[in-house]
C-alpha cells in the first residue's frame, strides 16, 4: 500500500515536471526535465533523511545532551515495534517536530529547541509517538520526496520566468507563449495541491496511531494546542517546501490564501478527534 502510494506520487510529480520542462524549452526541455526528475526521485529515496536534515538545519542530539528525550524515544519505539530512530534537534525557538527516513530502519525524529521548554512529559510523549507513527507507516519518505519535488518545480518555474524576461527561447506565436506562462503558474500549484492532499490525510492517521502508541490522545491534543498558539505568533525560519513535514505548520500565522493551501488539517479538528481516543 505504502509502496504503491510512493510510486504514484513519484509518477504524478514527474509528469508535472516534464510538462513544465516542455513548456519552457520544448522537446529538449521535456527530456532534460525527465532525466532531472528521475535523478531527484532516486536521490530522495536513498537520501531522504539527509535531505530533510539539511533543509531544516538539524543536527544530532546526543544522549548525553538530552537523556530524557532518548529514553522517551526508546520506550515509545518499543511500543510501536520499530527500531529506535536517531534523534536530531533543529535550531528554532518555535516548538515543533518532524520525522524522516525512507523506512523504520533509517528513521530520524527531530525536535526543535523550543519544544522541550514548552511541553510537559505527557505532551512530549504524544508528539514523539506521532512522529514514530509517521516512521512506522513510511510517511516520512513520501514527505521528503514531495518536499524536494515541490522545491525543484518552484526552481524550474523561476528559471522559466527568468528566461522569458531576458530573452531566452522565443515562441513563434502568442498561443505558445500563453502555454508557457500557464505552465509556470500551474506546475508549482499542482505540486502544492498534491503535497497538501497527501500530508493532510497522513496527519490524521499519524495522530490516531500516535495516540495508540502513547496510550491516549490527551497528551498530543494538549501539545498541538500549545504549539499552534505559539506558531501563530512566530514563524519558523525554515525552507517553506518542508512545511508539511512538521507536526504543526511552521507558518501557521499566515492567513488568506496561504491558509487555504495549508499542508496541515485544522488543528481544532485534530484535537477533537484525539480527545475521543482512550
Residue numbers annotated as active site = 131
Please give the grid coordinates belonging to residue 214: 502513547
C-alpha dihedral (183, 189, 195, 201), degrees to nearest 10: -130
Please give the grid coordinates belonging to residue 96: 515543533
Place of cell 509518477: 11
- In order, the DSSP letters of 142-160 are HHHHHHHHHHHHHHHHHHH
Strand 97-100 and strand 108-112: the pairing is: antiparallel
- String of b and e for 187-214 (b: at least 16 CB within 10 Å)? bbebbbebbbebbeebbeebbbbbbebb
Amino acid at each position: 500500500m505504502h509502496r504503491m502510494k510512493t510510486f504514484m506520487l513519484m509518477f504524478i510529480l514527474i509528469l508535472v515536471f516534464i510538462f513544465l520542462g516542455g513548456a519552457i524549452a520544448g522537446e529538449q526541455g521535456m527530456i532534460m526535465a525527465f532525466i532531472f526528475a528521475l535523478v531527484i526521485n532516486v536521490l530522495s529515496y536513498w537520501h531522504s533523511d539527509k535531505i530533510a536534515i539539511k533543509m531544516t538545519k538539524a543536527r544530532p542530539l546526543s544522549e548525553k545532551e538530552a537523556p530524557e528525550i532518548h529514553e522517551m524515544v526508546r520506550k515509545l519505539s518499543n511500543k510501536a515495534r520499530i527500531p529506535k530512530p536517531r534523534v536530531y534537534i533543529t535550531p528554532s525557538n518555535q516548538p515543533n517536530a518532524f520525522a524522516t527516513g525512507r523506512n523504520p530502519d533509517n528513521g530520524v525524529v527531530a525536535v526543535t529547541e523550543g519544544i522541550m521548554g514548552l511541553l510537559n512529559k505527557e505532551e512530549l510523549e504524544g508528539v514523539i509517538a506521532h512522529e514514530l507513527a509517521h516512521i512506522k507507516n513510511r510517511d516520512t519518505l513520501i514527505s521528503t520526496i514531495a518536499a524536494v519535488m515541490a522545491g525543484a518545480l518552484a526552481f524550474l518555474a523561476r528559471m522559466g520566468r527568468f528566461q522569458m524576461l531576458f530573452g531566452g527561447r522565443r515562441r513563434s506565436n502568442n498561443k505558445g507563449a500563453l502555454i508557457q506562462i500557464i505552465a509556470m503558474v500551474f506546475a508549482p500549484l499542482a505540486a502544492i495541491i498534491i503535497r497538501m492532499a497527501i500530508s493532510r490525510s497522513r496527519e490524521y492517521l499519524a495522530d490516531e496511531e500516535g495516540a495508540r502508541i502513547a496510550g491516549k490522545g490527551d497528551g498530543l491534543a494538549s501539545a498541538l494546542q500549545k504549539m499552534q498558539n505559539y506558531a501563530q505568533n512566530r514563524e519558523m525560519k525554515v525552507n517553506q517546501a518542508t512545511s508539511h513535514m512538521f507536526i504543526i505548520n511552521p507558518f501557521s500565522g499566515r492567513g488568506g490564501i496561504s491558509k487555504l493551501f495549508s499542508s496541515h488539517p485544522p488543528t481544532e479538528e485534530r484535537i477533537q478527534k484525539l480527545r475521543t481516543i482512550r
